[in-house]
Amino acid sequence: MTILITGATGRVGKQVVEQLLKREVSVRVLVRDPSRASFPEAVEVMQGEMLDIDSLRRAFAGVSTFFLLNAVAPDEFTQALLALNIARESGVKRVVYLSVIHADRFVNVPHFAVKSGAERMIIQMAFSATILRPTYFIDNDSMIKDVVVSHGVYPMPVGNKGLAMVDVRDIAEVAALQLIRRDRGASTLASETINLVGPDTLTGEGIAALWAEVLGRPVAYGGDDPTGFEQNMASFMPKWMAYEMRLMAERFVADGMLPEPGDRERLTQMLGRELHSYRGFVGLSEVEG
């Protein structure tokens, strides 16, 4: 049967497709502009958008399982609910959903609240579901690498509670494994939630120290005040999104993003290898820089 991937041109989606192809799975992707999408010939590319009902119906025809990934957007919740409804209408009963850790707790952050709502709908609509809850992505820090290298400051207000940052490669591989497990299992397979975390719980000071070690010169932590962070984000993204990032950073400082007991062991057992680390990302970033 065919597995449908939404959000297939993004950082996670592309790698989910790659992981499925490695395992010789039939893959279909829904993309806004096929002429700008680059996928292997084995991938069935369908043009469409998450708010286009006709294209959603075409995309879900003949599909057995799907990966639901919605980008952070003002209409993210509507996109998710339309996809879930059209999937059910099309007889698709299995889904892997990319949510976020603490979605049910950080509800003042809009894209967390959205994902919490989508999680509830998935359960209420009786899908056979795996809900993936990643922490903050390690490779998000690619955006601030130049600031660290050029100015010797780690500017992300992470706080001292700690974040168990996760690598996108680990997210994608777990997603692929769960899609295959759902697709090959009974539609009555019990739903579950998996926290996706990294191997280390990192603080702002600790991250700055890692950069300093790799660069061989001092790197300071910029502090917990998110005001400057919001202003910097607003210089290259919509102001509403920059404000969302500020709200998220405030929860980092107040609460952290901490794994639950057994999360790391579960992931390493599932993947059969160690998790990718932030230290590895810093070293690779310096080499590439």
Q: What is the CATH number of the domain that holds 37?
A: 3.40.50.720
Residue 70 within any structural domain of the chain: yes
How confident is the model at residue 83, as a pLDDT? Answer: 98
Sign of CA pseudo-dihedral 254, 260, 264, 266? negative
Secondary structure of residue 64 in the 3-state scheme: strand
- Tell me the C-alpha distance between 19 and 25, whole Å: 9
Counting Cα atoms < 13 Å in the Cβ hemisphere of 83 gives 29
Residue 10 within any structural domain of the chain: yes
How confident is the model at residue 285, as a pLDDT? Answer: 66
Residue 30 within any structural domain of the chain: yes
Task: List the beta strands (DSSP E) in the chain.
Answer: 2-5, 26-31, 44-47, 63-68, 94-98, 128-134, 153-154, 192-196, 220-221
Residue 123 within any structural domain of the chain: yes
Q: CA angle at residue 56 from 53 to 59, to 5 degrees?
A: 155
Residue 41 within any structural domain of the chain: yes
Nearest one of 99, 72, 112 to 233, comparing CA atoms: 72
- Tell me the C-alpha distance between 7 and 3, whole Å: 13
Residue 78 within any structural domain of the chain: yes
Which helix H or strand E contains 222, and what residues bound it?
none
Which residue's structure tokens are 């989606």?
A: 13
Q: Please tell me the total count of domains within the chain.
A: 1
- Identity at 6, one-letter amino acid code: T
How confident is the model at residue 80, as a pLDDT? Answer: 97
How confident is the model at residue 36, as a pLDDT? Answer: 85
Secondary structure of residue 216 in the 3-state scheme: coil
Token representation of residue 89: 């209408």
- Single pTM value for the model: 0.95
- Tell me the C-alpha distance between 138 and 6, whole Å: 22
Residue 224 within any structural domain of the chain: no
Residue 8 within any structural domain of the chain: yes
Q: Domain residues for 170?
A: 2-136+166-196
How confident is the model at residue 35, as a pLDDT? Answer: 86
| pLDDT tens, N- to C-terminus, the chain (289 residues) | 899 999 999 999 999 999 999 999 999 999 999 988 899 999 999 999 999 999 999 999 999 999 999 999 999 999 999 999 999 999 999 999 999 999 999 999 999 999 999 999 999 999 999 999 999 999 999 999 999 999 999 999 999 999 999 999 999 999 999 999 999 999 899 999 999 999 999 999 999 999 999 999 999 999 999 998 899 899 999 999 999 999 999 999 999 999 999 999 999 999 999 999 999 999 866 545 5
How confident is the model at residue 283, as a pLDDT? Answer: 86
How confident is the model at residue 286, as a pLDDT? Answer: 57
